[in-house]
Amino acid sequence: MRIPIHAVHPDTGEAEIIGWVHEVRDLGGLTFLLIRDRTGIIQVTIPKKKASESVLAAVKAVSRESVVRVSGPVKPIDKAPGGRELVPDSFEIISLSGSPMPLDVVEKVPADLDTRLDARFLDARRPRVSAVFQIRSTVTRSVYEFFFSRGFINITTPKVVAAATEGGTELFPIAYFEREAFLNQSPQLYKQMMMAAGFEKVFEIGPIFRAEEHNTTKHLNEATSIDMEVSFADHLEVMNILEDLVITTYKTVADQCGDQLSALEIPDLPVPEPGFPRLPYPEAIEIAKRTTGEDIKYGDDIGTVSEKAIGEEMGVHYFITDWPTEIKPYYAQPYEDDPSVCKAFDLMHPRMELSSGAQRVHRHDQLVHQIRAKGLSSDSFEFYLNPFRYGMPPHAGWGLGAERLVMTMLGLSNIREAVLFPRDRHRLVP
């Protein structure tokens, strides 16, 4: 019976493993192979004089990255990975790899990101790359558990839609029978409609599509959004939930992903401290102005340069609160005593924005007014506006970028490192 490579110990006795040939070294009388599966690497040692004819023939024929089944006694040995080696009684080639390969899995030859993404199936055999996606999987599980343990209902909303949600970015049009449709930018309108349905607490983890023209290290054209919406809650309550979720996710990864973090050379993942600072927008703008020396005014968006400058000053996760109503979407609820400021917030990592959210407008007439004030036509929002006429509770929510969460947690330099098959301006295959 096959056992995972990390579970093979010097006192295992006999073991059978199946994995990929990571490296082959022929030292004359001895041949060393490193065999790898997703859990680790083990040395397989073949003493030429003692090995059987069939083992020798298979070892001679095998190429790097072939899949092999090996069984035999396990012995302790100091210098090998994990302090053990397997001396095979049997060695079977299950699937022979061709050569040369499009990518060197052992990274003796460094490859640029494009080459790696073109051969992602080989790139992801690298322990470091595999570790990122194993951690991303743990992040996703942690987020599901977080929401379910707090009584949230998981929903799925359509990705093929008739109208835009967010201003600012363009939509991807698609042919939908005889009509034009679009790929959805955000589940925003649908999660709000489920508040009208009385679901009270909903969440969705799903794709969002943004036709961002520019190619940056933190934008994708298809991203994964962790979205939530809560009835009878204000912006402050959902900010607390967001802070809890981020901390819980870090803790889960720190507790459960020790091997993967080691592969990424992160011996101790620092878990953010509770009590993320809350920085009102006017103060954020002041910091940006002072530290960049640029002419930044109240009402300006916080661009990449400002974001970086404020992040360096803050040094930890923080919220930017109290945004000018003018630069936030129509669904953000203005303060009753000063409608020029709204109950919207952004959650920031020192490197970049992770999430946006707000308490929402829940009164129909006010929402129509705000949609028109943004120069949008309320006609195309009829399906969304209707629920606001028949008992819409007050509500608040946010959307958190899954890739940015993983990217900032692991210190990855490019968001594409956190996506298996990224979609950007130039990349549609594989």
Residue numbers at the binding site for ligand AMO (CB under 6 A): 166, 186, 188, 210, 212, 219-220, 223, 225, 227, 353-358, 397-399, 401, 403-404
CB of 137 to ligand AMO, least distance (A): 19
Q: How many CB atoms lie within 10 A of CB 302?
A: 20
CB of 228 to ligand AMO, least distance (A): 8
Q: Kindly state the tokens that stand for 344.
A: 């919207």
**In the complex with ligand AMO, which residue's Cβ is closer, 43 or 186?**
186
Q: Report how far residue 366's alpha carbon sits from residue 426's, in angstroms, rounded to the nearest whole number.
A: 41
End-to-end CA gap in the chain: 35
Task: For residue 100, say if its preceding peptide bond is cis, omega within 30 degrees of 0.
Answer: yes
CB of 24 to ligand AMO, least distance (A): 41
CB of 89 to ligand AMO, least distance (A): 51
**In the complex with ligand AMO, which residue's Cβ is closer, 76 or 411?**
411
CB of 425 to ligand AMO, least distance (A): 11
Q: Distances from the Cα of 81 to the Cαs of 31, 158, 222, 262, in angstroms?
A: 16, 48, 39, 14
Residue at shortest CB range from ligand AMO: 401
**In the complex with ligand AMO, which residue's Cβ is closer, 31 or 184?**
184
CB 155 within 8 A of CB 194: yes
**Quick one: DSSP state of residue 221?**
S
CB of 173 to ligand AMO, least distance (A): 17
E-assigned strands of 242-393? 278-280, 318-324, 341-349, 352-359
CB 270 within 8 A of CB 251: no
**In the complex with ligand AMO, which residue's Cβ is closer, 82 or 206?**
206
CB of 224 to ligand AMO, least distance (A): 8
CA 182, chain centre distance (Å): 24
**In the complex with ligand AMO, which residue's Cβ is closer, 170 or 338?**
170
Helices (H), 79-223: 113-118, 120-123, 127-149, 188-196
CB of 187 to ligand AMO, least distance (A): 8
CB of 214 to ligand AMO, least distance (A): 10
Q: Is 17 exposed, middle or buried (0-12, 13-18, 19+ CB in 10 A)?
A: buried
Q: Kindly state the tokens that stand for 375.
A: 């120069």
Q: Report how far residue 371's alpha carbon sits from residue 170's, in angstroms, rounded to the nearest whole number.
A: 17
**In the complex with ligand AMO, which residue's Cβ is closer, 84 or 191?**
191
**In the complex with ligand AMO, which residue's Cβ is closer, 105 or 241?**
241
Q: Report how far residue 175's alpha carbon sits from residue 379's, in angstroms, rounded to the nearest whole number.
A: 22
**In the complex with ligand AMO, which residue's Cβ is closer, 46 or 342?**
342
**In the complex with ligand AMO, which residue's Cβ is closer, 92 or 166?**
166
CB 166 within 8 A of CB 182: no
CA 187, chain centre distance (Å): 18
